[in-house]
């Protein structure tokens, strides 16, 4: 492990796994935490206080849908009182002007709102909830009316990627200051839907050209962050800026992980804030030190000149695709396991199967993309 570990920049507070949407790319675990197992308001207040003492600067209230928690207003106020910059990551499907005005008064600093497409019909189909797009639009208007800065989070994939130019125009119309156009990351439920979500190379190239053109045209007006899919890359991205380097994620149960998918890794005992302080978790736990720095790396990562740039890529992806969290991320073309990624990219050139939707009840259903054969994918 590194001789010195800086404090985490941000705390991702996953308050709940409850959510009204059924997104087929949901990044939450396959086995969702039920409401009875969630941390209490008092537990979260203590975690926020420990985060501030540790040196955390930002807290991102997330889920699931964080507005499913009745104590969200109180937690925003607690974070504000502790001097933490608070960001709400939401679907916008469970609230409106009254809620967002109260959040703003309590000290909320920013809202990150997800959209599934610019088109209401396709957006609702992807979200698995009729009327979701209209709810989101009204919520965005309420955010701007409350004077809060707004970021639109546009999760893109094979079945909405052609609409990137229109999504950017939608963001302008809604008054967003920033847009995050992020390709689906293939973990958990999204991995089950990978064949339905992974874009073709043609789609990716066209979308990238559209983003670059919009960046030039809207410079100084709208900031556009763009995250390309790992599977079409040459080298891996720096997942979470490196394992245990900048982020600490607290799941609804209280389990602390370096990233949202880390709990899937076998052989690692991830600590809980119910029994451990945030400081001990960050500095002392084996879980957070396991893949810190570069000492853990094997070849070709160990001698790679990018080892302190991408930090070996994603440990969860390495396990998911290569069966070993310590191996080189298979999206890297230098990885001995890269063939599994190449095969998935080749598969994406065919017709996509139906979505398997994510329900909080864990009862998946399937539907076909408009105009395509109804080929069911095993759940």
Beta strand spans in the chain (E):
10-14, 58-62, 85-90, 110-115, 150-156, 178-183, 223-227, 247-250, 256-257, 355-356, 366-367
How many angstroms separate the Cα of 140 from the Cα of each of 170, 241, 287, 300, 329?
11, 29, 38, 46, 37
Counts for the chain of helices (H) and strands (E), in that order: 13, 11
DSSP codes, 74-96 = HHHHHHHHTT-EEEEEE-SSS--
How many residues in the chain?
Answer: 379
Contact assessment for residue 267 and residue 221, using Cβ atoms and an 8 Å cutoff: no
Question: Is 314 annotated as ligand-binding?
Answer: no
d(CA 171, CA 238): 27
Q: Measuring CA to CA, how many Å separate 57 from each of 12, 14, 50, 143, 302?
A: 11, 17, 12, 23, 32
Which residues does 252 contact at the CB level (< 8 Å), separation at least 6? 14, 15, 16, 17, 33, 37, 38, 39, 63, 64
Q: Are 15 and 63 in contact (CB under 8 A)?
A: yes
Cβ contact 151:172 at 8 Å: no
Residue 26 near residue 114, CB atoms below 8 Å: no
Q: Classify 113 as helix, strand or coil.
A: strand
Measure CA of the first residue to CA of the last residue in the chain; give whole Å.
40
Whose structure tokens read 């701007």? 144
Query: Residue 332, annotated ligand binder?
Result: no
Q: From 274, 257, 254, 91, select the one nearest 187 (Cα to Cα).
A: 257
State yes or no: 26 annotated in a binding site: yes
Binding residues: 19, 23, 26
Binding residues for [4Fe-4S] cluster: 19, 23, 26
């Amino acid at each position: 492990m590194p001789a010195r570990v800086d404090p985490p920049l941000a705390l991702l507070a996953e308050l709940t796994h409850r959510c009204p949407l059924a997104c087929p790319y949901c990044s939450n675990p396959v086995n969702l935490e039920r409401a009875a197992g969630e941390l209490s308001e008092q537990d979260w207040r203590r975690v926020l206080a420990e985060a501030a003492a540790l040196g955390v600067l930002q807290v991102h209230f997330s889920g699931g849908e964080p507005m499913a928690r009745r104590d969200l207003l109180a937690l925003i106020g607690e974070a504000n009182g502790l001097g933490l910059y608070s960001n709400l990551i939401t679907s916008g499907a469970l609230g409106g002007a009254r809620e967002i005005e109260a959040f703003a008064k309590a000290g909320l600093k920013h809202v990150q709102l997800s959209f599934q497409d610019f088109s209401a019909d396709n957006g609702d189909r992807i979200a698995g909830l009729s009327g979701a797009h209209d709810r989101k639009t009204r919520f965005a208007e309420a955010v701007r009316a409350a004077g809060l800065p707004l970021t639109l989070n546009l999760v893109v994939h094979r079945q909405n990627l052609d609409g990137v130019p229109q999504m950017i125009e939608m963001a302008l119309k809604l008054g967003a200051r920033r847009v995050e156009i992020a390709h689906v990351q293939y973990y958990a439920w999204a991995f089950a839907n990978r064949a339905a979500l992974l874009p073709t190379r043609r789609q990716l190239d066209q979308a990238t050209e559209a983003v670059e053109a919009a960046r030039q045209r809207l410079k100084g007006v709208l900031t556009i962050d763009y995250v390309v899919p790992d599977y079409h890359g040459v080298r891996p991205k720096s997942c979470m800026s490196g394992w245990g380097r900048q982020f600490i994620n607290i799941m609804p149960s209280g389990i602390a992980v370096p990233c949202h998918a880390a709990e899937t890794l076998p052989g690692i005992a991830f600590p809980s804030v119910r029994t451990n302080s945030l400081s001990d978790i960050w500095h002392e736990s084996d879980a957070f030190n396991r893949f810190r720095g570069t000492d853990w790396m094997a070849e070709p990562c160990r001698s790679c000149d990018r080892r302190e740039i991408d930090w070996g890529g994603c440990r969860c992806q390495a396990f998911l695709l290569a069966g070993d969290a310590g191996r080189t991320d298979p999206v890297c073309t230098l990885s001995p396991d890269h063939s599994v990624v190449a095969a998935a990219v080749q598969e994406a050139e065919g017709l996509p199967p139906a979505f398997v939707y994510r329900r909080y009840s864990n009862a998946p259903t399937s539907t076909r993309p408009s105009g395509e054969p109804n080929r069911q994918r095993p759940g």
